[in-house]
């Protein structure tokens, strides 16, 4: 019993070894791979990110100009941001905040009308 007294007193008097997350958040590391962000105004809805995503958490609907992903299924590998042809996908260094229930991130872009060629000139 007396051999443990010094250990007990040391643990009671010194600072705890763990953090009380999310109340105390540690800054991100330099090369941390965190949450995916999409600049929907730059996105071309090509669907390459959805095809290359190993966890298949991204869906792209070109006709409706919808881009969505499931953050709880994302493994933060960064493949989607690497293969993005328009450069709209970025991987932030910050991790996603904890949530109580799953939610899908759905971004709605602007659909562009199809380009028509000029009618041929006659005469």
Q: Which residue segment(s) compose the domain that 64 sits in?
A: 34-97
State the Cα–Cα distance between residues 14 and 10, nearest whole angstrom. Answer: 6
Our count of domains for the chain comes to 1
Q: Is residue 47 part of a domain?
A: yes
Q: Is residue 52 part of a domain?
A: yes
Q: Which helix (H) or strand (E) holds 55?
A: none
Q: Evaluate whether residue 119 is within a structural domain.
A: no
- Write out pLDDT tens, residues 4-43: 898 888 888 988 888 887 788 788 888 888 899 999 999 9
User: Any idea what DSSP says for residue 6?
Assistant: H
Q: Is residue 41 part of a domain?
A: yes
- Residue 19 lies inside a defined structural domain of this protein: no
- The CATH code of the domain that includes 46 is 3.30.70.20
- The two structure tokens encoding residue 85: 């042809």
Could you tell me if residue 11 is inside a domain?
no
Q: Which helix (H) or strand (E) holds 54?
A: none
pTM above 0.85, yes or no: no
């Amino acid at each position: 019993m007396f051999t443990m007294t010094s250990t007990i007193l040391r643990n009671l008097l010194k600072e705890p070894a763990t953090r009380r997350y999310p109340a105390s958040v540690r800054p991100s590391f330099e090369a941390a791979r965190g949450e995916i962000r999409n600049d929907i105004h730059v996105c071309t809805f090509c669907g390459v990110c959805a095809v290359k995503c190993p966890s298949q958490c991204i869906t792209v609907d070109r006709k409706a100009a919808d881009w969505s992903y499931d953050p709880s299924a994302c493994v933060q590998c960064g493949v989607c941001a690497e293969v993005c042809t328009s450069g709209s996908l970025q991987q932030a260094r910050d991790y996603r905040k904890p949530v109580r229930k799953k939610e899908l991130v759905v971004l709605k872009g602007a659909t562009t009308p199809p380009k028509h060629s000029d009618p041929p000139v006659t005469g």
